[in-house]
Amino acid sequence: MNSDLSRLVDPDSGESIRPVAGADALVGAGGRRYPVIGGIPRFVPPENYALAFGLQWKRFPKTQLDSYTGLRLSEDRLARCLRGELGGLAGKRVLEAGSGAGRFTEVLLKYGATVDSFDYSAAVDANAENNGDHPKLTLVQADIRRIPFPQASYDVVVCLGVLQHTPDPEQSIRCLWEMVKPGGVLVIDHYRRKLRNYLPPPIGVAGMVYRWIILRLPGDRQFAAVKRIVDFWFPLMWRFRDSKLAQFVIARFSPVVMYYPHFGLRDRQMYYEWMLLDTHDAMTDTYKHRRTPGQMYRFLRSLRPCPSSEPVVTAGGNGVEAFCRKPG
Contacts 24+ apart (CB under 8 A), 210-219: 210/255, 210/283, 211/255, 211/282, 211/283, 211/284, 211/288, 214/283, 214/284, 215/283, 215/284, 215/286, 219/51, 219/52, 219/55
Position 303 scores a pLDDT of: 97
Distance, CA of 206 to CA of 187 (rounded, Å)? 31
Residue 44, SS3 per DSSP:
coil
Residue type, 73: L
Half-sphere exposure of 195 (CA within 13 A, CB side): 1
Sign of CA dihedral 239, 243, 245, 248: positive
- pLDDT > 50? residue 88: yes
Q: Which residues contact 54 (CB under 8 A, 6 or more apart)?
A: 119, 121, 122, 123, 125
Position 195 scores a pLDDT of: 65
Q: What is the pLDDT of residues 186-240, one digit of tens each?
A: 999 999 987 665 555 444 467 788 999 999 999 889 999 999 999 999 999 999 9
Residue 246, SS3 per DSSP:
helix
Position 152 scores a pLDDT of: 97
3-state SS, one letter per residue, for 11-38? CCCCCECEECCCCCEEECHHHCEEEEEC
CB atoms within 10 A of CB 316: 13
Q: Which residues contact 268 (CB under 8 A, 6 or more apart)?
A: 238
Q: Which residues contact 124 (CB under 8 A, 6 or more apart)?
A: 40, 99, 117, 118, 139, 140, 141
Distance, CA of 241 to CA of 229 (rounded, Å)? 18
Give phi and psi for 125, each to the nearest 5. -65, -40
Position 19 scores a pLDDT of: 86
- pLDDT > 50? residue 323: yes
Distance, CA of 25 to CA of 19 (rounded, Å)? 6
Position 23 scores a pLDDT of: 73
Q: What is the pLDDT of residues 144-198, one digit of tens each?
A: 999 999 999 999 999 999 999 999 999 999 999 999 999 999 999 999 987 665 5
The percentage of the chain sitting over the pLDDT mark of 90, rounded to a whole number, equals 82
Express the helix, strand and coil content of the chain in percent, nearest 5 each.
40, 20, 40
Position 175 scores a pLDDT of: 98
Packing angle, helices 268-284 and 219-239, rounded to 10: 140
Query: pTM (2 decimals)?
Result: 0.93
Q: What is the pLDDT of residues 106-131, one digit of tens each?
A: 999 999 999 999 999 999 999 999 99
Give one word for 112, left, alpha or beta, with left for phi > 0 and alpha for psi -120 to 50. left
Compute CA 101 distance to the chain's CA centroid, rounded to the nearest angstrom. Answer: 9
Distance, CA of 176 to CA of 162 (rounded, Å)? 12
Give phi and psi for 39, each to the nearest 5. 80, 5
- Reference 165, options 119, 223, 102; nearest CA is 119
